Amino acid sequence: MTVSLYKDYVQLAPRIISSEQTVKHIESNFRIRLWHATDTAELQEWKGFALVFEPGGDAMAWTSESDSYYGHFCEHAMSVANCETVLAALDDVDEKVGRPTYVFWNGKIAYDYSCPEAREAVEGLEASLAHYPCLDDSRMSELEYDYAIDRLESDYTFPEGVEPSDILQALHDAGESDCDDCSCWDVQKVVEKMDYRQCADCDEWIPSSSLVPILCLDCVALSGECSECSGTVADSFRGFCSGLAQELANNLECQCDSGKRHTDAMPSPRIEVPGQLELFEMVA
């Protein structure tokens, strides 16, 4: 097929053709000129030059998974999936015709507009985008899932044995999406439904279904220790906020007959504190 057989083209240079949409895009961009496009085409030994376009009229960006982005990640994931699909189609064209038919150009995908196979592939994908915004739903979902796992791993801590994938599945069950920009992830609520609570001081996760603030052992441990009863005091107890824990630990007698004040751990849950809730929970 020769250049003269194309009906809907614009003469970009004496021996180089382009699409009308590409020419309008370049002319509207103050940072690039038409001669930049002709230079690229001549360098690649092409007889045509055009950009891939999205339904809204914007030239499709050459987008990779590692690129920075603005807005919601789901939008970035869709852009990456679309770009990868276009590049894969043009890779197939390259293999078929035996030469490169596309290049990275000013952040966009430029291709040889005079190559019938390349033009057919691109125009087919552009037509698909006009009816549906994503060219590869499965790839977009994969990107969103990986992103969600990365966010959970980097932004949250979880109890031992609880994986980010477990949390994400629970979020899905609650009707939330993989994009935390589109959804309101209540990760703490999800973990608490698994019968864990966070230490009121250090945020360590503790196996518990307590309805009041609780502390881990490290946060209730104080400076002193009663060596005579340290082995009999319930060392797995978690109780109230740190201020109350300090007060209780300093003022309750040890569980032995020494009469000393216990200053190392919370007392046994058998002991009742006057004026307070009964210390009720033993956590294994």
pLDDT tens, position by position, 55-111: 989 999 999 877 777 888 899 999 999 999 999 999 999 999 999 999 999 999 999
* pLDDT value of residue 215: 66
* pLDDT value of residue 72: 87
The span from the CA of 195 to the CA of 261, in Å, is: 33
- Name which residue leads in pLDDT, 227 or 208: 208
Q: What tokens appear for 86 in the block?
A: 């276009």
Give 244's pLDDT tier (boundaries 50, 70, 90).
Answer: very low
What is the mean predicted confidence (pLDDT) over 111-137?
Answer: 96
pTM of the predicted protein model: 0.70
- Which residues, at least 6 apart from 18, have a Cβ–Cβ distance to it below 8 Å? 9, 10, 11, 12, 37, 48, 49, 50, 113
Q: What tokens appear for 240 in the block?
A: 């109230």
HSE of 63 in the Cβ direction (CA atoms, 13 Å)? 22
Q: What is the pLDDT of residues 151-202, one digit of tens each?
A: 999 888 888 889 999 999 989 998 889 888 887 888 888 898 988 888 777 7
3-state secondary structure of 169: helix
Q: What is the pLDDT of residues 19-48, one digit of tens each?
A: 999 999 999 988 899 999 999 999 999 999
* pLDDT value of residue 62: 94
Question: Beta strands 16-18 and 102-105: pairing type?
Answer: unpaired
- Name which residue leads in pLDDT, 69 or 219: 69
